[in-house]
Structure 1
């Protein structure tokens, strides 16, 4: 039996014991090391939905995690018990037109761990042990912490967003929203050669984190100084999932510039400034999840070319998930909160 955290509806989080799963030939059982609480996990917990994805059955959240191999299927022998792994939550089909084009993140048959995007839902990794396909695992031999490895998924999101920005060498980039993804985008944008990085948010703690991550300028979006952002950036990355932040991006983006939307905006829709996009010839680009960037993220973390440690606020045992969600929801105190399993406490 294994302990699993499940969300039944908004604010309704329960722990349940589940039977150990049988292994198919290419599957591997993982013991949880660390698992980060993402913005979508928070939305499921607080509102029962994340964007257009609504909970229709009890959902185990969690899609950014690391762990250690417990046992492997007969055809997955390369991953021996005790091997530390980063876990890619994407389960693309590999055969649809998008997968064949190398755009696995747009797979028409995608099964993404911890997501209510399909029904039955794809259960996630906020549990003591879980089973995944061997191709979702990246073995790590260096002495890197489980907590750092669990940043591979959000860093992959940030790297994919930066890929969608186009060439950044010498450019000014604005990032709206200075949560975990926003701060990782700041780090990735710096690695891509941006000359100046501006980060804005409505709270002081995220802005402090963005400054520590490498932003040259931080701005309170709700302060009068925000007016100075007008036509200030060549590229704007919206990572807040907020309509006001999107409006800031449109105003701040210079003529002929580019806006990349990473944040999930409200499901009921937004007022879209199409005329401003047209008259100023702005490129409006979406960035959804990631593809090959997951492998890059693991490499950057293991080599510490991108140091994620300053973004980790707290780690709580899996059994304290409710308290962890409450802390993660308080942006005045936290950037990234993780749940940890026995592997990380050993």
Structure 2
């Protein structure tokens, strides 16, 4: 029988390539031979610090939740998939019974099994099991890499929905990492007509300009919050009516609440510290709506359709590739901030 080899995180920066138990599926699951898996910012936080948001590393886990592969076995109650199907894996298995799941907001389920968290192994491995109805067939005109990269796109589609992006939106995106750039690309496809994106890394801004931003602003350490606000307004010629924080830094959230137009919307996508100090009162007195966007919700089909139709180009978004055996090197390179999207091939 084939061995299951996985990238297993034992502690901060302690990622090992080792054998992992072969998954056994139930009646409603499928067994997937993983072809490739992307590295996400939350993977990087877990790798670097052993924690990401509310998730803490308390035992070894398999990293990765941007997986795509071939179905090789289906459970007895599965009729939607068959052996040989190519699937993009929506990396969650909600309880289906809580009030949020019953309302259709399964991303808020208090007890989900979300891939690459304790109790729910990720997909940086050769073989992986998942509930069939959260595996989505990859259209014939998409590559496996695009199928894997659909996961962060599904996050940004949900975030742009929370932001109320529409034709004519003037958008500020704080952070030009993968999620920030995809927010810009998604917003452009949804009708945003003027987009500015900021970052502290010049190379990321260069990529952002190629992929969807009209304006870019390099944030320097010596800039005060007010200086950043003034520069944004000068470049846009106005205040943005939607601002999306895609980095999770307190400074970005402060700027978002200061710069957003009265009556506008701030959406926080990036995962930041447990507690931050922000100028909330001033924003609220101007009726600026402050919203969160957590993971994704019913947006995988939209993401796959958008890429398949050509509305969003993920090929140029994928910049680097590594084999599974060099997963640790890939994580270390991702920490530099230079690459946009890294795909690991099995």
On whether the aligned pair clears a TM of 0.5, the verdict is yes
Query: Aligned equivalents of 2:104 and 2:93: distance in 1?
Result: 14
CA RMSD of aligned residues (A): 1.6
Query: Aligned equivalents of 1:313 and 1:140: distance in 2?
Result: 21
* Aligned: 1:192 with 2:190: yes
Deviation at 1:305, TM superposition (A): 1.4
Contact 2:321–2:343, Cα closer than 8 Å, also in 1: yes
Query: Aligned equivalents of 1:324 and 1:132: distance in 2?
Result: 25
Q: Decide which of 293, 298, 310 is 1:292's aligned counterpart.
A: 298
What TM-score comes out, normalization by structure 1 length? 0.92
The CA deviation string for residues 137-183 of structure 1, in whole angstroms up to 9 with x for no partner, is 11124132111111111001100110001253212110001111111
What residue number does 2:59 align with?
57
Deviation at 1:18, TM superposition (A): 2.3
Query: Aligned equivalents of 1:104 and 1:304: distance in 2?
Result: 28
Query: Aligned equivalents of 1:74 and 1:321: distance in 2?
Result: 34
SS state at 1:266 partner: coil
Contact 1:229–1:251, Cα closer than 8 Å, also in 2: no
What residue number does 1:95 align with?
97
Query: Aligned equivalents of 1:302 and 1:66: distance in 2?
Result: 15
Deviation at 1:249, TM superposition (A): 1.1
Query: Aligned equivalents of 2:124 and 2:113: distance in 1?
Result: 17
Query: Aligned equivalents of 2:51 and 2:305: distance in 1?
Result: 32
Contact 2:80–2:132, Cα closer than 8 Å, also in 1: no
Contact 1:198–1:215, Cα closer than 8 Å, also in 2: yes
Q: 1:115 to 1:279 in 2, by over 3 A?
A: same
The CA deviation string for residues 233-284 of structure 1, in whole angstroms up to 9 with x for no partner, is 11100001111111221222111211000000113x1112122222222111
* Aligned: 1:334 with 2:339: yes
What residue number does 2:327 align with?
321
The CA deviation string for residues 27-82 of structure 1, in whole angstroms up to 9 with x for no partner, is 11111111111111011111111123210010111111111111222222542222
Stretches of structure 2 lacking an aligned partner (at least 5 in a row): none
Deviation at 1:108, TM superposition (A): 2.4
What residue number does 2:318 align with?
312
SS state at 2:334 partner: helix
Q: 1:170 to 1:5 in 2, by over 3 A?
A: same
Query: Aligned equivalents of 2:336 and 2:171: distance in 1?
Result: 27
SS state at 2:37 partner: strand
What residue number does 1:73 align with?
75
SS state at 1:90 partner: coil
Query: Aligned equivalents of 1:168 and 1:85: distance in 2?
Result: 30
Equivalences for residues 227-242 of structure 1 within 5 A? 227-230=230-233, 232-242=239-249
* Aligned: 1:273 with 2:276: no
Q: Decide which of 139, 148, 163 is 2:137's aligned counterpart.
A: 139
Deviation at 1:109, TM superposition (A): 2.4
Q: Decide which of 182, 202, 205 is 2:203's aligned counterpart.
A: 205
What residue number does 1:168 align with?
166
The CA deviation string for residues 187-223 of structure 1, in whole angstroms up to 9 with x for no partner, is 1111121121111111111111211121111111227
Query: Aligned equivalents of 1:293 and 1:9: distance in 2?
Result: 32
SS state at 2:140 partner: coil
Q: Decide which of 1, 16, 25 is 1:14's aligned counterpart.
A: 16
Q: Decide which of 223, 234, 244 is 2:251's aligned counterpart.
A: 244
SS state at 1:66 partner: strand
Contact 1:149–1:301, Cα closer than 8 Å, also in 2: no
SS state at 1:74 partner: coil
Equivalences for residues 78-157 of structure 1 within 5 A? 78-116=80-118, 121-157=119-155
Equivalences for residues 33-48 of structure 1 within 5 A? 33-48=35-50
Stretches of structure 1 lacking an aligned partner (at least 5 in a row): 342-346
SS state at 1:255 partner: coil
